[in-house]
Structure 1
Amino acid sequence: MRAGHTFRFAPTSRVLADLAGGHADGSWAHRLRAYTKPDLLILDDFAMREFTPAQGDDLYEIVNERPARSIIVTTNRAPEEWYPLFPNQVVAANPSWTGS
């Protein structure tokens, strides 16, 4: 916490692995809150490889559950290069990703 604000930093691959574990053991909603509750979420190394349908859905849920909270993504790809990495193109086109 810095100046009263909370944040969470994590590599995107670890976030997705953690949420996959939540699907497996029934703790997904609890785990999701860990990524939607902080004032700022920083996803490191975003879009390094293709996402599975479940991973794409999990990312969609993270973004949509944070309407008034910021997300920073670090990536080596331009946002338009993300589309082919998502199995569901509607998820990739979510305007929340680019602030549109």
Structure 2
Amino acid sequence: MNNNQTIEKLRQMRLGAMADLHLQHMKNNQLKSVTPDEYLALLTDQEWEYRQNSKIARLIAQANFKQKATVADINYGPSRNLDKNMFMRLASLDFLTKMENVIISGASGVGKSYLAQSLGHQACLMGYKVIYANTARLFTRLKLSKVDGTYLKELKKLSKADILILDDFGLQAFDNHAREALMDIIDDRYNQTSTIVSSQIPVSVWYDIIGEGTIADAILDRLVNSSHRIDLKGESLRKGYLVSE
């Protein structure tokens, strides 16, 4: 058996992590220290771990998060009105398996975006596809996509995400294009996937912000009624604190 040929074949089959570990064991003369079954399991585990880590890194990069937010770094200070047990249940992603939504509201700077993105990051670690988007910028992009004919393609991309994070929801008034785009997004995702919304605007005002009563009713019925709600309190965390909006 020619070990160099074996390593080259492994690399050509895109089993680089397995090839690297095999080469390391050859150089260190460790091939006799384990049984064939143990060695095969060792090489397989190395390749599996490498691919899983690569997948996670790719999912995080594709999510396009604004911040490096993690569940481990959440601030549960008493003034925030954030129940740790409740949030950790959300972090288990049970809401995702049940195709439920999460709505995080509160004043500017209290950490809404961070919470939303920490849940998104947790989903990436567990192998789910996440898309983070500033709501106003997303609607602008979708409006332009109608001009160049890629609107349906953009909607399909959004519908395939296991979690869609709509950040800064409702900061700009909804025009007809934004209303129709939101209706299309929510309708495609309803009972299929989960959406996380962060907003400075109280949910009670969303009906008026969206406008067009029939469309607003349809959107809120699909988005709000099947949601977990977090209403953050306290002062802005932007002034000298770890977690920012």
Alpha-carbon distance change, 14 to 43 in structure 1, aligned in 2, over 3 angstroms: same
CA–CA distance in 2 between the matches of 1:37 and 1:12? 18
What are the equivalent positions in structure 2 for 1:76-95 lying under 5 Å apart?
76-94=200-218, 95=221
Q: Is the contact made by 2:136 and 2:172 (CA closer than 8 Å) also made in structure 1?
A: no
Q: How far apart, CA to CA, are the structure 2 residues paired with 1:76 and 1:86?
A: 14
Partners of 2:212 and 2:146 in 1: CA distance? 19
Consecutive unaligned residues in structure 2, runs of 5 or more: 1-58, 60-123, 227-245
Tell me which residue corresponds to 2:225. Answer: 99
Task: Please tell me whether the aligned partners of residues 129 and 163 of structure 2 are also in contact (alpha carbons under 8 angstroms).
Answer: yes
Task: For 2:179, give the aligned amino acid.
Answer: G
Q: CA RMSD for the aligned pairs?
A: 1.2
Q: Distance in 1 between matches of 2:140 and 2:172?
A: 14
1:25 aligns with 2:25: no
The 2-side partners of 1:32 and 1:15 are apart by 11
The amino acid of 2:214's aligned partner reads: V
Task: Determine the C-alpha separation between the residues in 2 that align with 1:63 and 1:22.
Answer: 18
SS in 1 for 2:199: coil
Whole-Å Cα distance in 1 between the matches of residues 134 and 186 of structure 2?
Answer: 16
Q: Which residues of structure 1 form unaligned runs of 5+?
A: none
Distance in 2 separating the partners of 1:74 and 1:82:
12
- CA deviation after TM superposition for structure 1 residue 49, in Å: 2.1
CA distance in 2, matches of 1:86, 1:80: 11
Aligned partners of 1:62, 1:89: CA distance in 2, in Å? 18
TM-score by length of 2: 0.39
Q: Which one has a bigger Cα radius of gyration? A: 2
Secondary structure class of the residue paired with 1:93: helix
| TM-score (ref. length: structure 1) | 0.92
Q: Partners of 1:64 and 1:20 in 2: how far apart?
A: 18
1:87 deviates by: 3.2
| Larger fraction in helix | 2
Please report how far the alpha carbon of residue 83 of structure 1 lies from its aligned counterpart in structure 2 after TM superposition: 1.4
Cα distance between partner residues in 1 of 2:153 and 2:133: 17
Deviation at 1:75, TM superposition (A): 0.1
State the distance in 2 between where 1:84 and 1:34 align: 28
4+ residue runs over 3 A deviation: none
Q: How many residues align?
A: 100
Q: How is 1:1-100 mapped onto 2 (pairs within 5 angstroms)?
A: 1=59, 2=124, 3-67=126-190, 68-94=192-218, 95-100=221-226
* Percent identity for Structure 1 against Structure 2: 27
